[in-house]
Chains A and B, each alone.
Chain A
């Protein structure tokens, strides 16, 4: 493992908690700091599960394998501890929290990153929030709306990007952030991510997507292809292009053979 590696996943096996169903069947993935990696794969391949497991979702159980994030055993940590350590998941389906304003939510999230006894300076926080909303061309009134409650699909995704901009993670996991978005909304999201990367080139991104489309706007350094709970191929951006042209079906056949041969 090089010194710059931010995330290192080895032989990760995961099943649905309370059930026997295995979803990840030995995932290996190394992400050097500052890089953008994409994980592509057909529906049901386990790519969204990977994002949730990295965030600590209680619905999944790690059966075997290790995940090291920034030198720490990630699997030991609670979801909030992972967040404070610098992991951020942009949800595929952001949850509605009625009655809780975005500003109040983010203030509490920022407060939770401080050491005990230290109080968040509310003026500093206001300044930060305004700055981040400016950066993303968002209207100030957005922060007073309840978290995702009554939001359109596009608004929910913008809210995820705003949170990312405020919380400034070291590793952003983007779980099918492109799904259900029209091209304009997609550009807004990509613009947000790219802007944050310009600001902090050490931020790493793991993009989980079904389509090549997203990768036109956020250029990945490496593309991993996931099929049936395993990464079956990794390579440069051209892998994504070929996938788009040839489809997953062919790949599945080819990889089925590969897997058997191994």
Chain B
């Protein structure tokens, strides 16, 4: 199957810059009417919303005025690649080659889907894995209901509105009631055009009592100009559904990488989620899990490892709306050189959400004199019959551990790397996804080897 996306902006647009009204109108011109209307509505909201400043609590530690200059970015202009692995960049090919078991694949290059396949036995049962752009015409009912509506509407914020008005493509995964995917769906993203702003969306709908796993890997070489990747991820886990979502971000330096993620969980729905942030110059993740049905259960895991002058800002929230739901968050990070991490997490227990179990833990290892970690774990509790706790720590490598390892012959660098991998790897032990865990471990080890602690 070949998908060549035709509606790319013409190269001459590059000079005029801009993520302006003209680009939105051009995109809307190719949309079905309902979608065009929404795009223009998102534009209005965007224009009416001020850029978040550090005065806002949620942006206190990430200064967008210094880290993101929208005026310098342009819409991608490069020609789309063909659906032919031989034409793909070497790193994309090698990443694909070390694949684990999967029931379907989807490849995006510079924000556009260039390849999809899904097992025939699944498509015959109604499973959909496709380009979001195609889905706008092929699955309009599904999109009208779920796309940028209940999960991440443009009203959510400036960057969310920006994505809603400028997205060019993305992923739709739909799994019908009772269908259980035996292996993950794999999505691989490659970015190459420097100075561009890429906007994509992911929509995952797990219908009742279905089961799916989704692994999303994003990578690129370093960029010589500031480049933006913006993702809006909307996940609907209906009653009794089981969703496993993994994102591994290894985008090159020079990129500002923003991901807005919202997961809505119905009654007895289960979510296992892992965000691995290793790349980009600035990474901002806004994650919100909303437990809307009783018995819902979410495990939210995160890993980050910073070096150079990388900046990570993870902004998470666990919203307990329904009673008797459970959520457990564990984010761990290690920071080398002059990298910096911000973790801001909140557990909100709404009135009436009794028998809530909610936990939140953030642990940081500081590996260098210039690294820095800020943690803001918050609780807002409006019900009394709850079990809630949170913890945050910032510390350094334990000298006794290093000595123990060195007394067995490891060099100091080897000992440090081993302890860091162990420290981070414990997050993965909570993820019940065998092949994926191995892959992610390799990815972390690779970054550690390349980093200063090799």
Contact = CB atoms under 8 A, between A and B. Distances in A.
Contact of A100 (B400, B411, B412, B422): B422
B425 A99 contact: yes
B408 A109 contact: yes
Interface string B371-413: 0000000000000000000000000001111011111111110
B146 interface: no
B421 A113 contact: no
A94 B426 CA distance: 20
B418 A104 contact: yes
A109 B404 contact: no
Contacts of A83: 406-410
B414 A56 contact: no
A18 to B, nearest CB: 13
Contacts, number: 83
Given A58-B403, A104-B418, A108-B418, A99 B409 contact: no
Looking at B403, B411, B418, which has the most chain A CB atoms within 10 Å of its CB?
A: B403
A167 interface: yes
Contacts of B411: 80, 112
B103 to A, nearest CB: 29
A98 interface: yes
Interface in A102-144: 104-106, 108-109, 112-113
A63 interface: no
B59 interface: no
Given A80-B412, A105-B408, A97 B419 contact: yes
Contacts of B425: 99-100
A95 interface: yes
Contact of B410 (A56, A80, A95): A80
A80 B404 contact: no
A57 interface: yes
Interface centre among B398, B408, B412, B419 (most CB of A within 10 A): B408
A2 B66 CA distance: 71
Interface string B409-451: 1111011001101111110010000000000000000000000
B453 to A, nearest CB: 14
Contact of A167 (B408, B412, B421): B408
B407 to A, nearest CB: 5
Nearest to A86: B409
A146 interface: yes
Contact of B403 (A79, A99, A146): A79
Nearest to B415: A80
* Interface residue SS majority, chain B: helix
A112 B422 contact: no
Interface residues of B, number: 25
B421 to A, nearest CB: 7
A54 to B, nearest CB: 10
A113 B411 CA distance: 10
A89 interface: yes
Contacts of A98: 422-423, 426
Interface in A77-95: 78-80, 82-84, 87-89, 91, 94-95
B158 to A, nearest CB: 38
Given A95-B401, A97-B404, A99-B426, A167 B409 contact: yes
Contacts of B423: 98-99
A48 interface: no
A136 B11 CA distance: 70
Given A98-B422, A99-B421, A112 B407 contact: no
Contacts of B412: 78, 80
A209 interface: no
B422 A80 contact: no
A162 to B, nearest CB: 11
B408 A163 contact: yes
A67 to B, nearest CB: 15
A142 to B, nearest CB: 17
A177 interface: no
Contact of A105 (B398, B399, B418, B426): B418
Contacts of B401: 95-97
A106 B404 CA distance: 12
B409 A84 contact: yes
A39 B410 CA distance: 28
Identify the interface centre among A55, A82, A98: most chain B CB within 10 Å of its CB: A98
Contacts of A89: 407
A95 B404 contact: yes
Please indicate which of the listed interface residues A83, A89, A108 has the most CB atoms of chain B within 10 Å of its own CB.
A108
A91 B405 CA distance: 11
Nearest to A166: B408
Contacts of B400: 95
Contact of B422 (A87, A91, A99): A99
Contacts of A55: 403, 407
Contact of B409 (A57, A80, A104, A146): A80
Contacts of A146: 422
Given A80-B409, A112-B409, A57 B422 contact: no
Contacts of A97: 401, 404-405, 418-419, 422
A243 B127 CA distance: 79
Complex A-B, nearest 3 residue pairs according to Cβ-Cβ distance, in ascending order: A99-B422, A100-B422, A83-B409
Interface of B: 398-401, 403-412, 414-415, 418-419, 421-426, 429
15 contacts: A55-B407, A78-B406, A79-B407, A80-B406, A87-B407, A95-B398, A97-B405, A98-B422, A98-B423, A98-B426, A99-B424, A104-B418, A105-B408, A109-B405, A109-B409
Given A55-B407, A97-B419, 5 more contacts: A80-B406, A87-B407, A88-B408, A98-B423, A105-B405
